[in-house]
Amino acid sequence: MCGIVGITSNKQVISPIINSLRKLEYRGYDSAGIATLNQGFINEVKCEGRVNALEKNLLKSKLEGTVGIGHVRWATHGAPSTINAHPHSSEKVSVVHNGIIENSTILKKFLIKKGHKFKSQTDTEVIVHLITEYLKKNDLKKTIIKVLKKLHGSFALGIIFKDYPDMIVGARRGSPLAVGYGPNENYLGSDSYALKTMTNKISYLNDGEFCILKNNSVEFFNDIGNKINKKILELSENNENYDKGDFKHFMAKEIEEQPVTIKNCVKEYVDKINNDINIFNFPWKVNEISSIVLIGCGTAFHSCLMAKYWFENFTTLDVSVDIASEFRYRKNKFKKDALYVFVSQSGETADTYASLDLCNKNKMKTCSIVNVVESSIARDSKFVLPIHCGPEIGVASTKAFLGQMLVLYILSLKISFMRKDIDKETYVNKIKSLFTLSDLIKKTLETDSKTQLVCNSFVDIKGSMFLGRGYSYPIALEGALKLKELSYVHAEGYPAGEMKHGPLALIEEGMPVVVIAPRDEYYTKTISNMQEVIARGAKVLLITNKSKDEIYSENIWEYIEVENTTDDLLPFLITIPLQKLAYYSALKKGYDIDKPRNLAKSVTVE
């Protein structure tokens, strides 16, 4: 989603702003722009499309300046176009914005009456005119306080002013914003990743706060303008490789990295010598918890759904799962003995954050499972379990999904053992199996050639279905999500047993249907459901695990066999061919795999 960069310096800022915008490209965007203040004038250069196109326009325009703001836009109000791209400027002010101003129509009416002329269809432009209007009668600080109060909705803002030459104002409500500190320059960014090439010293704005950056000072204020102090955090100097290397796409790289990321994560949490799980400093006694609520969006929601099966199988806890965008607006019955678990790769997803905030406000026990440990969700949770899988750049979540599932699996085992819901022998055996998982994933990645072959049948189709029962049901949902988001094919994930209740009507002659049926306790039931779709003309791709037992079924179009392991770890292996199926289908179609249309990596608006 939209990304913001701001730099105030004693040197030229165009090239570092471009470098930081490139770091924000992973979020998914459709247009880009930069505005600077130079010799008393605000100038902007914008374009539809990518940062490369913006760079070309900048060369032509010769934009210069030691204070500037940059933006990559993911359209909410108004189509992707140069005119709607940020920054939006008046003669006096220029603004970049991430978020949604919900009362923009009312504010626009008020401003038009005052004589303001609008150029774009965006909600952001009202902020520009509102600031311009208030500056007529107020000083800068008062203007900011008054304008922020007028805005409904969510925002992270970067603002430069004609009459305050070396200054950038940043403000946050809902959408994340970081401040970075450098030598004779200071920075604003949507996340610390965008600023990492310039600094490892970071502070984060909390909701309602704003900041004033100059090249030699940074000040923070609360919503009524009182000065506040901020901790300066030092980001870890990691040497993680953000390049694609020899891979064509980040997604391909991230799929292949999974044996390593899983190995690293197991190492972080599992004590091989004592066959125990290390979850240190868990802030609650296990007998204070009698239910668990798992919350996330998209792929993270699927890992929550998966975890429900593990928690229910291993523990006697009540388990419920919720989509964050629903949870945050429902009339929830908050229970003191519930543990609320928030799952998010980015740690910035607006709906997941809002759900966490709601639980915190109701004084609940909150725990997050995140990839980005400096994220808002990690910072505001009472307890954090990182998934240790390194940066995930491809919009389609792959290694983070496996990482989320792994940490949830580990948490379910630990809690069940602490509660004495499972005995020591079962606990130790399950831990031992975890050490085999990385190699099994590596071997399963070898199903690659088969997946490349079958993907041809998923390219030019009207639609497809992914069916599974039990542990395979969340994986079916995830397989369908991957196919639809990457190759823009309509795909539905369904519990295999539910087909007769409606979806069977969709099956047509030759329709490709993926049936996920590992040889677990649901196997025979799923195979029966598979026969029902084959009988109605479906072309079935069966995904199962290797076994000495033959597959007792005829007329299967194709099958892929993953390695063999315990029932509860099979979902990790089954996911691999589904990731590859989506990848290769999109590759055949020549689509933008790392940045699928209309999507963003970090969904910071609701």
Q: Which stretch binds ligand AGP (CB under 6 A): 19-27, 258-266, 345-353, 424-432?
A: 345-353
Single out the residue of 203, 233, 235 nearest to residue 220, CA to CA. 203
Cβ(315)–Cβ(291) under 8 Å? no
Return the number of the residue (293 or 297) whose C-beta is nearest ligand AGP.
297
- For 74, counting Cβ atoms within 10 Å of its Cβ (0-12 exposed, 13-18 middle, 19+ buried), the class is buried
DSSP conformational letter for 105:
H
- Go through 559-571 and write b for each residue having 16 or more CB atoms within 10 A of its CB, e for each that does not: bbbbbbbebbbbb
Minimum distance of ligand AGP from residue 271's CB (angstroms) = 28
Sign of the C-alpha dihedral computed for residues 345, 591, 450 and 480 taken in this order? positive
Minimum distance of ligand AGP from residue 333's CB (angstroms) = 25
Return the number of the residue (289 or 300) whose C-beta is nearest ligand AGP.
300
Contact between 408 and ligand AGP by CB under 6 A: the answer reads: no
Interaction pattern, residues 511-540, with ligand AGP; x per rule: CB under 6 A: ------------------------------
Cβ(70)–Cβ(17) under 8 Å? yes
3-state secondary structure of 56: helix
Minimum distance of ligand AGP from residue 297's CB (angstroms) = 4
Contact between 575 and ligand AGP by CB under 6 A: the answer reads: no
3-state secondary structure of 281: coil
Active site residue 601: yes
Measured CA to CA, the distance from residue 340 to residue 319 in angstroms comes to 10
Single out the residue of 347, 349, 342, 348 nearest to residue 322, CA to CA. 342
Single out the residue of 97, 209, 211 nearest to residue 156, CA to CA. 97
Minimum distance of ligand AGP from residue 541's CB (angstroms) = 21
Among 108, 253, 539, 601, the active-site one is: 601
Q: Which stretch binds ligand AGP (CB under 6 A): 115-123, 247-255, 313-321, 338-346?
A: 338-346
Q: How many residues bind ligand AGP (CB under 6 A)?
A: 14
Return the number of the residue (247 or 557) whose C-beta is nearest ligand AGP.
247
- Separation of CA 366 from chain center: 19
Minimum distance of ligand AGP from residue 574's CB (angstroms) = 17
Q: Which residue's Cβ has the minimum distance to ligand AGP?
A: 298
Residue 165 phi, psi (nearest 5): -60, -30
Cβ(470)–Cβ(525) under 8 Å? no
What are the residues facing 544 on neighbouring strands?
561
Candidates 199, 344, 487, 565: give the one binding ligand AGP (CB under 6 A): 344
Return the number of the residue (63 or 369) whose C-beta is nearest ligand AGP.
369
Q: Which stretch binds ligand AGP (CB under 6 A): 232-240, 343-351, 489-497, 550-558?
A: 343-351
Minimum distance of ligand AGP from residue 567's CB (angstroms) = 25
Q: Which amino acid is at 445?
A: L
Candidates 42, 266, 297, 538: give the one binding ligand AGP (CB under 6 A): 297
Candidates 127, 292, 396, 581: give the one binding ligand AGP (CB under 6 A): 396
Q: Which stretch binds ligand AGP (CB under 6 A): 117-125, 291-299, 433-441, 577-585?
A: 291-299
Contact between 186 and ligand AGP by CB under 6 A: the answer reads: no
Candidates 345, 366, 526, 544: give the one binding ligand AGP (CB under 6 A): 345
Single out the residue of 113, 137, 117, 138 nearest to residue 128, CA to CA. 117
Q: Which stretch binds ligand AGP (CB under 6 A): 214-222, 389-397, 444-452, 544-552?
A: 389-397
474 Cβ partners below 8 Å, 6+ apart?
Answer: 302, 303, 305, 306, 309, 468, 571
Minimum distance of ligand AGP from residue 76's CB (angstroms) = 15
Candidates 346, 381, 526, 585: give the one binding ligand AGP (CB under 6 A): 346
Q: Which two tokens stand for residue 269?
A: 């949490």
Minimum distance of ligand AGP from residue 191's CB (angstroms) = 11
Measured CA to CA, the distance from residue 24 to residue 591 in angstroms comes to 20
Q: For residue 87, say if its preceding peptide bond is cis, omega within 30 degrees of 0.
A: yes
Contact between 298 and ligand AGP by CB under 6 A: the answer reads: yes
Return the number of the residue (93 or 295) whose C-beta is nearest ligand AGP.
295
The order of strands in the sheet holding 227-228 is 88-89, 93-101, 153-161, 164-173, 210-214, 217-221, 227-228
Minimum distance of ligand AGP from residue 345's CB (angstroms) = 3
Candidates 254, 485, 561, 594: give the one binding ligand AGP (CB under 6 A): 485
Q: Which stretch binds ligand AGP (CB under 6 A): 122-130, 297-305, 378-386, 545-553?
A: 297-305
- Residues recognised as catalytic: 2, 601
Binding positions for ligand AGP, rule: CB under 6 A: 297-300, 344-346, 349, 352, 395-397, 485, 603
